[in-house]
Structure 1
Amino acid sequence: MHSLDLHKELEKWSASHGGSMHDAVVIAHDEQRGVHMQVKSDWPKAIEPETRAISTPLSITMSYYNAIDYKSTKGSYSSHDVKLPQAFIETMGSEETFAFFLMGHYLRGEDGFWYPYLRTLPQPGHLNTPLFFDQEDADWIEGMGVIEASHFRYAIWDKKYEECITKLDELDFEGSENYTWELYLWASTIITSRAFSAKVLADGVEASDLPESGISVLLPLIDLPNHRPLAKVEWRAGTKDVGLIIRENIRPREEISNNYGPRNNEQLLMNYGFCIVDNPTDYRIIKLGVGKDSPLGMARERQIQMFPAAANNNDEHYYIFNIFYPLLSPYRPMEHSVFSPALFDALTIMHGNEREHRSITIEESSITIPQTYGNGRCTLAALAQLSHELIAHIMQLQDSGRDLPSEPKNVRQMFCKIYRDGLITMDKAALIIATWTIARARALNRGEEWADTKFLLEEHFSQIPKGHFSDHVLSQIKVRILERTSLLPKNGQLFRIGELYSLLPEEMQAPAQACFSSVLEYIKIQVPGLAIDPHSLFSLVVGILVATCQSPQARPKLSPRLTKWVDFLLEQYPAPTGFDGDHAVGRENIDAMGQVVSDLMARAWLDEAGVTWIGPESTWMEPGWLQWAWKVAKEEMVLLPLEPLQVLVTENPPMQKQAVMYVPNE
């Protein structure tokens, strides 16, 4: 019998027990949607909100309450001749009892009460969740985490099944050999993919017998409609039935959909065996390894001490959202509309420096570094790390998909391709958002009027190959950028070494740069082969800028931005009292440079370089001050991905980084 005919028989069976469907609703079938529900094509008008599309009597629902022959003043639920031992029920609990109860009714076949319902469900061997994939199917999701999650679930269910069968054998339960592992896998998957919360029985079960979790309910007919993200429906509990209530207008021939909630494609594939093309509620879960002794780990411990209830919050909400994700506050900053606040806050702390860690704010619902002067650095460091992670993930997905067939061979592979393609698009869109804020931070001496922003945006988007995204996706990326405020409203906060001189008045820039170059040349002569790292180079420039700000002759000519920054550094990083002699890891170069430069300072070399505003009495390049400047450079630097959007052009771009110095523009 065709599946549509089976569902028609299910409709009749439900009606015989008091169930009903609205006159405007019909069960239909087509190749694209399979068996589904829709408004009749000849219905004269759209059905309106508050229409009860389906009513499922409580007497045909199936749950743990049936397995225990539950009876109360509110309602009774029969086991219909499938009796599990009481000792089994008490030992194994509600979830396993329900799975074995479902298996028992499947084994009864045509003699079972729920036979008209069970034969409309996907049968054993015909489910499409990853637990049932063969190797060729699994190749389509290699390296995406789903296989690992499936193995984890498989191991848990395998252990539970063995415990259940062992218990039934101990109790000499007749026919236990028919309760096979394959049938248990089927029953558990059906419950995971189709069951509703026990809240749908709220008016049919005593409140004291209705737990918050652990009990699921199968609702014949109501579980037939396909999932549509954002479909406006309600499952309304009643004393005699459960109703599927439509909360939107649906026109003739349009499908009536259910709504499983804002599920991403990973959840849909894992639990239900399908994915949705361009799923608006798609997102990717990020796993962060947080050590207990790390700043974030210690902050979490402190949070629990301050707010003990925080210990119960195990969901970390580390997400990268689809750019179409609709369930966000319109007041969220642009960056938080793509990277969840919890993820972003965690990364700012993980990549914050010692100075920023001193300002960590701990509240019951969050741990953050506040957006005060100077703390934009950790925001940019978090975006840089996100960019690195996105590039690596895109390359991993592209690499693992290189040997796949050009087209899927079955429906499982088709859904896997949807999942894979969606992840790549999501990552690439998120990368464009992350690198846009970084690009603005690198936009030195650029205005912030609409015309300036438009020019910068065109410059940024010119790196995206034509046709790489659909117009719809490209337009939405622009909407995210232009319609939301950024965490960093000011441009021009990240400087390469040579660009730092632009902070000085124009007449000082060339002499200061010449001074830097001559120091570098002298060091190379005196210490041949010395490898000079970015930290050391930046420390030399920082030293020049600090000495300039300390010069009574130069300071009146300097910009408020430069003097505020230098004063902030001197406040945050204690001034040296002399050469400390402690050769910290990575500091060997600057210590060697300091010894050489001390000799250089004995000459009338500053005047020769044209840096007349720094007197010979300045100590700015003595070993102690160079150590101080090295510390500042190390803490205030950010490592950016070099040409991050190159991953849109080629599949294996070099993962190069560039060091830049953060100078607040506030």
Structure 2
Amino acid sequence: MEQGKDLLEPDNITAFRKWLLGNGAKIHPTVYFESHTWGFSVRTRVALQPDTTIVSAPFSFAITAELAGDALEDILGAALRELSERELICTYICMHWVIGEQSLRHFPYLNTLPSPPKLRTPLHFTDNELQAFKGTNLYGATLDRKRQWEAEWQRCRDLIKPINEQWAADLTWDRYLAASTYLSSRAFPSSILSRSPTLSATPSSYPVLLPGIDALNHSRAQPVSWLVTYPDSGSASEEPSISLVLHSAQDAGSELFNNYGPKPNSELILGYGFSLKRNPDDTIVLQLGGTEKKWEVGRDARGLEGVWEQVLHAVQGPEGSSDDGGVESDWQDEMEAANVLQEMTQALLDRLPPFPPAGAVREEIKVMLDHYLEGQRAILRSILEFALDKEGAVIRKAREAGIEIVDDDIQNEESDPL
């Protein structure tokens, strides 16, 4: 693209532009890529008006399970068709590196993505950095994800090995991890490639990659739209396309941002490798012992009512109230439930790791840990306040009825003292 030459963009970006524009994509002429140690940002040389289309790309650019499956079948036969959509896409990405850039289509795109040493998701942490998160939900989620992705990697290699043993050997864990990280950090749900595009995943949707559309970094609540355009029914040469539109004005030289949707820091760190300070979308996942139901609770105890009802139900037991169903036993149940919730929450608070962490931890990992722990503590403290409010409400109702609650015992104020 001629407009980008005076910006001294790296050769891989120049090749990416040429590939995009040569295959029907469109990039706003003022847009340029700025190189950083961690990757690229997208900026504009001049001020942009609201509702500006930044990039448009035909559906054929997307890395979908169908495209990946067809490409893999051409070089490996139909054996890999039994893989999941995620496995197909990750294997397709890896095969670019295994068999060389000339054989598969998306090398110009993959060559612009951050190299593995620049990735900062927890599966790229050092052992000491991961241990700094021990005691949090994120630590367990990281171990679960590693087990899942390693099982996928082994399954893909096992299917390739009888066809080409060297290719299977070259599909290393580091390569599969990088491909999986690109998918977790850049993917859109396949439901976006429909006549009514949506970022809400459905039971039938799966992650897809949209080269060019995914180039912009994240800014929370940035007003953007992804517009899908279908050609007229009489057009045989055109295909559907997707465009990224920014709805706010942009100053000259400013970075242009996408919006990945409301995501807690746990998801941003695990899937993307960054965090937001005092993220209002932070959550914590709670699960009562002996139950399968998981509850996602946000700041200010948002979403906690379901947890409270489950705790209260557990206290009451299968027969309902723990005593004879009278007013006093109802209060006893609520008091006990409030105490149980407080004890559970305090245990979670006590289990959180200290900050700053001990040992060698890179500064950017410390920042993520700090942001994440702030959110977890804020949520847990709001749950404690919720439980204390429930306890206080029970005491007030009891006193209004002439009953004094002292040290978990219910005493009728009108009765004779013992």
Same fold, TM-score > 0.5, yes or no: yes
Secondary structure of the 1:166 match is helix
1:91 corresponds to which residue? 82
The answer to whether the 8 A contact 1:352-1:381 is kept is no
Aligned residues: 393
Distance change (3 Å), C-alpha of 1:190 and 1:213: farther
2:268 corresponds to which residue? 268
The answer to whether the 8 A contact 1:222-1:244 is kept is yes
Distance 1:116 1:180 in 2: 21
Give the structure-2-normalised TM-score: 0.79
Distance 1:166 1:86 in 2: 14
Displacement after TM superposition at 1:122 (Å): 1.9
Structure 2 residue ranges without an equivalent (≥5): 1-6, 197-201, 231-239
Distance 1:380 1:7 in 2: 63
The answer to whether the 8 A contact 2:80-2:159 is kept is no
Aligned-residue CA RMSD (Å): 3.9
1:126 corresponds to which residue? 118
One-letter amino acid matched to 2:154 = E
2:384 corresponds to which residue? 431
1:615 corresponds to which residue? none
Select the residue among 152, 157, 165 that pairs with 2:157. 165
Distance 1:122 1:385 in 2: 47
Deviations 1:237-258 (A, max 9, x none): 3343111233x43442665433
Deviations 1:508-551 (A, max 9, x none): 7xxx23xx1xxxxxxxxxxxxxxxxxxxxxxxxxxxxxxxxxxx
One-letter amino acid matched to 2:148 = I
Displacement after TM superposition at 1:411 (Å): 1.9
2:278 corresponds to which residue? 278
Distance 2:408 2:62 in 1: 73
1:389 corresponds to which residue? 344
Deviations 1:194-246 (A, max 9, x none): 12222233369xxxxxx953643211121122223333333333343111233
Deviations 1:110-169 (A, max 9, x none): 535323211221223432121122122112201113232222222222222222222212
Distance 1:438 1:3 in 2: 65
One-letter amino acid matched to 1:13 = W
The answer to whether the 8 A contact 2:398-2:404 is kept is no
Distance 2:333 2:223 in 1: 40
The answer to whether the 8 A contact 2:132-2:358 is kept is no
Deviations 1:382-439 (A, max 9, x none): 3332222222222221xx3168249953323321232123212322233234323433
1:16 corresponds to which residue? 22
The answer to whether the 8 A contact 1:441-1:493 is kept is no
One-letter amino acid matched to 1:252 = D
Select the residue among 321, 345, 355 that pairs with 2:309. 345
Distance 1:4 1:428 in 2: 48
Secondary structure of the 2:226 match is strand
Distance change (3 Å), C-alpha of 1:441 and 1:26: farther
Distance change (3 Å), C-alpha of 1:404 and 1:377: same
2:242 is the counterpart of 1:249: no
2:231 is the counterpart of 1:321: no
The answer to whether the 8 A contact 1:139-1:404 is kept is no
1:287 corresponds to which residue? 287
1:197 corresponds to which residue? 189
Displacement after TM superposition at 1:184 (Å): 1.3
2:400 is the counterpart of 1:409: no
Distance 1:104 1:493 in 2: 73
The answer to whether the 8 A contact 1:192-1:271 is kept is yes
One-letter amino acid matched to 1:257 = F
Higher strand share: 2
| Residue correspondence of structure 1 range 505-524 to structure 2 within 5 A | 512-513=416-417, 516=418
2:40 corresponds to which residue? 35
Secondary structure of the 1:62 match is coil
Deviations 1:174-193 (A, max 9, x none): 63322112211211221222
The answer to whether the 8 A contact 1:129-1:269 is kept is yes
Relative contact order, CA 8 A, sep 6+: which one is greater?
2
Distance change (3 Å), C-alpha of 1:170 and 1:130: same
- Mark the structure with the bigger radius of gyration: 1
2:237 corresponds to which residue? none
One-letter amino acid matched to 2:130 = A
1:213 corresponds to which residue? 204
Distance 1:97 1:433 in 2: 46
Displacement after TM superposition at 1:275 (Å): 1.6
One-letter amino acid matched to 1:414 = V
Secondary structure of the 2:258 match is coil
Distance 1:98 1:262 in 2: 25
Give the structure-1-normalised TM-score: 0.52
Distance 1:437 1:341 in 2: 11
Distance 1:426 1:407 in 2: 28
Distance 1:138 1:21 in 2: 39
| Residue correspondence of structure 1 range 453-468 to structure 2 within 5 A | none
Displacement after TM superposition at 1:85 (Å): 2.2
Displacement after TM superposition at 1:283 (Å): 0.5
Select the residue among 135, 143, 149 that pairs with 2:141. 149
